[in-house]
Structure formats: structure tokens, C-alpha cells
Structure 1
Amino acid sequence: MLKAVIFDDEYIVTQGLRMMVDWSRYGIELAGTAADGLSALQMVRELQPDIVMTDIRMPGLTGLQLIEEIAKEMPDTACIVFSGFNEFEYIRKALKLGVIDYLDKPITLEKIDEAISRTIARIGYQQEHTQLKTQVAANKEALLEKATLDLLLLGAEAIPAWRLAYGEAEAKQVIGITILAATGKPDPLLEDHPSYRMVSFPYGKEWIMAVFHSKLPADELWEQLTVLSPQMQETVGSGQTYADLAEAGASLKEAVRALRYAVFLEEKGWTRFEPAEESLPKGLNEREEEIVFCMRTGNKEGLLRQLEEYKHWTEAERLSPELVEQEVLKLAYIGYQVAMEAGGEARTLVPHRELGEMSSRDRMFEWLREQMELLHNFMREDKHAAKHNAVEKALAFIEKHYLESFTLQEVAEHVGMNATYLSLLFKEKVGTSYIKYVTKLRMEQAKMLLHKGMLVNDVSKKVGYYNYRHFTELFKKYAGVTPGQFREGHVGGKTHEQAQEVEEHE
């Protein structure tokens, strides 16, 4: 039901319209009346009516002044003006303000009926127009999400449809793409920036964010991720940035892979595994990626299950013995290379000739299962020595350089191990992830420096953070207060308000 109000300083007008008009017949509730402009404005703000009927001349605020305020605050409200002064200037101003109707006094039931009918029709049109615009916008957004997903899955062949959904003019400005994958819709969510536009949508169990860049390198994106990361309750993994949109699928795979390892390490916020030189074949399919993940994380049950599912896949696809042999050899090679990530020496695989002499699919996969179990056991047994040596070496490196800016990849190169595998070993031995460990060292050092009275910006750089906002967010998450508040709490005993002023000044 629509809501209407009547404003007039003549009591006979407001009461006459209240009593004589059957408002319910129009689907309208008469919510209130007022005799002056100021009371009328207050009533409009409180009741948020759909229809306002007002006299032009009233004490406090004139009807025209009232309509001006309504137009600013509630532009969708329909206004009807009536007056005993038949002057063209009043009519011109009223129409310029967008009133629906202008009625001369005396007001008759016939005039009111016509005005209300026209107003209801106008409101209905506006509502339909608004709904239509909302539906068009929603459909446009849905089409863009669908086109973006097709781009990630199909590559080059989906680019024309994506350009159409994205907007031909805007698409011409896109010079790169980065994909982010999250465990759920991040809060706070990344926002568009003059240098990039985001298209985000759910994809299976993940939340996907496709970032289309109009400027590279993507420094603004990394800065925003860095600053928002400490506030996020979801885990976010990022792929690499590609200049060719046809490579969007590769960025998606990298983002999902980074996300999966971050979840295993129980990391919240943004985690990026820096790209490293790996001996694994490029373009692994989902089954092969699953096998790699199970081996790296020591999940023997999952590994054997994946091998069995791979066997069933070859049966369903009715692959020839030659193709089965190729697939089995590829998996064996992948397993061997994953085992080598630990820096050790695994046993030599059965020669290719011997595998080729096996006549059945079952025998080939039986051989593969034996090889993978041996490699898994080798990794488990070798972990004790490798874990101790590599992690101890990594800890020594971190202890020496934690006040500098360095990456996990640099630490991995120092110890001679794959970065992903090192991060898994580190978590297993130390009990916390590499990122959390380094952050704790830096935050404790920062607390000591702040305690001595060093300026916040100087402390940020001193402990390896050249992004002041990122340091502030990390410190607040770690210590419960901002660096400025912590510093002032230990230097001079200033109040909380003074601490905030000092921090803002710094």
C-alpha cells in the first residue's frame, strides 16, 4: 500500500481531504497531515511517504522550498501542489522541481481523483522502470560473469564473447589478467581501482576474482591485497599475471593451487607461493595435481585413491595399451620429481622397456602403485634428516635476515629445496607456517623498537615492511593495538586520544 501525506495551513483542507476521500480505494494510506513547512519536512523524513500533497504558501517553509528538500533527499517521492494563487511563476517553479500535478483551489473530489490516478500511474511506471533497470544490470553482470568463467575454462575461443560482455571500449584497455581464488567471498572484498576492474563469482567451493588490468605492473593490486590481508577471515591464493587473456586458465590453476596449499598450512588472508623453477611437467591436469598434492602433504590414502581413480579414467576413456603406458610413465615421472623436491636421491625407476613388456592395464597400474608407495615411503623416511637439516638451515637464514625484505623462494634457494615443499616441512617441524614465524619475529622486534620511542614509520622500515599501512594492520592484528597506541602507551604515558594523534601525524 502506498503512503501519502497532506500539508496545508488551512485546517478545512487537511481535514476535508482526510474525511471526504476514500483513500483505501486507491490503495493509499493517509499517514499524516501538517500545517507548517518545518513540521511537514520532519514528517516526510520520518514517514518516507510515496506521495506528498502540499500547499504552496505555508509558514516556516513554503511548499516550493519543501519540495526542493524532498527532491534532494527522496527524489522518487511524487509531489502534488495546490494553491489559491493562480500565478504562472508558481506553476513554472513547481514543474521545474518535478511535481506530478498542480491543482487550483478550491479542490474538488473530481480534481483529487484525477490527480491521484495520474500519480499512481506515474509511480507504477517509475517502479517498473526501476525494476527493469535492475534486471538489466543484473543480467548484464550475470552475462559478464559467465563470459569470464568461459574465458578461464576455454581460453582464446571465449575472448570474443567476453569482449562483448565486458564492453568493447573497455576491453580495448585491458592489457593483462590475474586470477585470485578464495575459500569464500572475502570480507573486506577487494575494490575496483583506476588501474584494474574485478569480476568475481562463486566457482564450486571457491570464490573466484578475475582482475582485468589496464596498467602493468600490477603494483596497486598487490598493495591492496597486502593491506587487506590481515583483516581477512578467508584464505586467498593468487595466480601470476598474464598479458595474454588466453592464459587466464593458467592463472586460475595457479591461484587454486596456491589456495589449496595455504589452506593446508592454515593461513588466513592472502598467501602467494612465488613461482619457482620446477622439474614437473607444465599443464598438469586435475588428477595429476591431486597426486602431487597428496605426495607433498604425505597423504598416502589419498594418493592410492587417486591412482585408482586414474586407472578407472583410462578404462572409461578406452585408452590403448600404448597410451596407458604413456600415462603411467608420466605419473611415475611426476612422483619421482616430487620426491626429488626434498633434495634427496630416490631409487631408480624400472626401465621403460620393462614396463612396455607388461601386457595388461592392471599390471601397469600395479607397477605404478608399487613405485608410488616406495617413493611415498622414501619421502616419509627421508623427511627426518631432510626436515631437520633444511628447516634448521632455513631458521638460521631467517634469524639472520628477518629484518630485511626477502621471499620464501629466496629461503628455499638458500637451503636447496623446492619452495612449496620447504613450506610444508617448516610447518611440520616448527608447528607454525613460515609466514607466521617471520611475522612474529618482526612484530616482537617492532614492539621493542616502539618501546624505545622510535617513530612508527621508521620501525616499519626497520623490521622489513616498506608498506606502512601493511605494517600497521599486521601489528594491530598481532598486538591488539596500533603501533602508535603501543608506542605512546610505553613512552610518556599519553592518553589514547593523544596516541592516535601522534600516529596520524607520523
Structure 2
Amino acid sequence: MYKVVIIDDEKWIIEGLKTGVDWNKYGFEVVGDAENGIKGLEILESYKPELVFTDIRMPGFNGLELIKKAKEKLPDSLFVILSGYAEFAYAQKAISYGIFDYCLKPFEIDDITELLDRASLRLSSKNNTQTYNPFILYEAICTKDIDNIRSILLTNEIIPDNKRSITPLVSLGKNVLEFVNGTKHISFKINTDKYGYLVYGQSPHNISECLLTNQKANIKSIGLGFAVSELSEIETSLETASIASYGVFFSGKFGIYKNSSLEEAYMNTLLSDISDSLKRKDRLHFINSIETLRIAFHEGYFNIKTAYIFFNLITYLSCSDILSKHLSIFDDYEDLYKQFNDVNAMIDYLKENTLTYFSDKNNDKYSLVEHGKIKEILKHINENLTKDISVTTLASKFYINPNYMCSLFKKEVGETIIEYISKRRIDYACKLLHETELPISDISEKCGFHDYFYFTKVFKKFNHTTPSIYRNKARGIV
């Protein structure tokens, strides 16, 4: 067991850490604590712990003074600063003392257990001689503080150039990646579920060979940035890796992902189709568009940022009618991932929760049906009118006897399946004739009629006029 000492002038912090963390699980044991720097130093000299948690501001002498004095006698111990303030001046000074991490209060237990995971790896690895502060490093990358980045890299004997570049990685999951011995790298925490890594001297094509292979259970996916030789490019490459790390959102499986090149023309086409369907309240067009979007996501045309754009667009265009009761706009793509975990759940959610926005007489009829199986059949018909639908295919899909299904449908809906499908298709044709400039032959296809003359015949049966005359009358043309 590795020994741990906690030093903080707030007793509840000490007790919270001692009782709230399963120390033994990570190979640690709390052997002592103190509420000021003077007593804390005495305990450190007595127990010689491998890991020390200390506050900055406390009686006696502060945490930095404690670390400076303790490091003289315990050079191999890992020190973690606890602070209620984002005291960057203290943190920058602390890096010269070789602290292991800098935790801001209030912290979550997950933050501490993640830290213990990394501390255990550091203590058990003889080859790991890295000395840097992950908190300072990530802050420097985000603010493009090149001087600070260079200082940290040089401390770890990492000097990027045209021959030996740096490749940023981002892992999605609550555990840190483990690398094979000899892989020079430094790591830092991005948030509770993401970690960043700067891997030195390895081609992006060889990254998978640098990782231990038994990590799938702990890591959801890994994003790969591009190799950089200029420090000014690290932030952009890290963001690229961060976006790519959400590859699991689209694939549903672990992997090392590169950021897809956005197909902007295709994205704009789909955005236009979805916007048009929402503005015209054309649910069938909307369903077809987002199902096309689902396929595009699975085939790698877009990334998590695109999913964020599409989700918020649909929310924005539909919320005026539903007063935002069902949909909410997310602040960033990380929130989108946390809410849905995969793109299929997101698409299904949009289909289900925009139903009220497209409210019409057919949805009203759907709400009146009580039989669960018939409700499923109605929903399938309403969302697949443009496809081939028959009694046989419906019976097969929903595992129900065809004759029984027809009888039950007529009883619940008030008309036969064929009548209902025909009426829905003709209703949709009327909507398209009135709201679009599409040729009538194209409308026939969009409504599930592959024979134009048959379409005209059925249309006339329900409307007592031809599609062309209906369109003219709808537009006031005699």
C-alpha cells in the first residue's frame, strides 16, 4: 500500500476525503492528517508518505512552503495542492516544486479517484520520469501560452522539430491511457471524462502500437490529432483530437478515430431540407431528411460538432410551437454527447419529440387509438408513406396474423389499412401541390405512387378533380 497524508485547515475536507474515497481499491492508505503546515511537516517526516494532499492557505506556513521544505527530505513523494481558488500565480510557482496535481475545491470524488489512478501509475512506473503540472499544461495550451508550453516540454526532454513531432491524443472515459514502455508522452485532464496526451516522436500511423491493448473496458474511444512541429499548432491539433474522440457517438464501438473532413455542400443540402420540412410542417419530409442524416453520420461524413448544429437547428425551428417543453438547446457538443451517448438515440429523440410540432388530424387519430400494436403500425405507416407498404409486409414486420391485423385495424381506426394508406398519401400530395413547385410526376413518386396514371386516378377518387386543377385552384388560378 502507498501511504497518504492529508493536510488542510478545514477538518470537514480531511474527513470527507478519508471516508468518501475507497483508498484501498487504488492501492493507497491514509496514515495521517494535520490541520496546519507545522504539524503537517512533522507527520510527513514521520510517515514518509508517497502521496500528500495539502491546502495552500493554512496556519503555520502555507502549502507551498510545506512542499518546499518536505521536498528536501521526500524528493520522490507526490504532492497534490487543494485550493478553493483558481490561484494561477501559486500554481505556476508550485510547478517549480514538482507538484503532481492541483485540485480546485469543491471537487468530486471521481476527481480524486481519477487522480489516484494516475498517481498509482506514476509510483509503480520506474520509467516514468515526467515532472510537470497537468493543470498548468492544459491551461497553457488553451491560452496558447507558448513560453509556458515550451518550458514544460523542455523539462520533460521533449523538443519538437521537423524530425520528431508531437501528436496530440484525447481519450473519452474516466481512466487514463496506458502506454507501452519507452513511449515518451505527457498527459493532462480536460474534464471528468476526457484526458489529453502529447505523444512525442511517434507518427500518427503508429499510435495504436504505442498503447497497451487491454483498455477497451475503461476507455470509450480515442481521438487522434495531427502531428505538429510548431508549438503554436498544439491547441488546434488537440481540438481536432477532442472532436475525433467522439467517434464512438456514431460507431457505437471503441476505436482510434480521426476527425472527418466535413462535407460542407452535403451538410448545407441536408440543413436546407430539414429547415424546409420544418417551416412547411411536413413531417414525412422531415423524417426522410433526418433518416438520411442518420446514414450520413454512420458513414462518417460529419462529426460531433455537426450533430450539435443539426440538433440545435431542429430545436430552434420547432420550439416556437412547442414552447421548448420537449427540446432543449445545448451549450456545446459535450453536453449533447452526455445526454444521448449515441447518434441513434439523438435521431430517435428528435423524431419522437417533434411530433407535437407536426400536429394534424392524422396525429389526432393516432392519439385516439388504444391498441398498442395498431399504434405501432400507424406510426410506421405515417413515417414510411413513400416506401412500399402492404398488408403482408406489415403483418411480417409486426408479427401479427394478416387477417386479424386487418380486422383489428378497421375496428380501431375506422377504415381499412389500404384506405388509410391511400388517404394519407393523397393528403400528402395535396400538401406538396399547394406548398411546392415540384412537378406532379415528382410528387407522385414522393407520395409512394410509382405509376403516374394510377396516382391521378386515386387522387381524383378522393378529391373529385385532377392534381393539376387542384394545384391551380389552391393558388387561385381559374
TM-score of the aligned structures, taking structure 1 as reference length = 0.30
Larger Cα-atom Rg? 1
Q: Tell me which protein shows more helix as a share of its residues.
A: 1
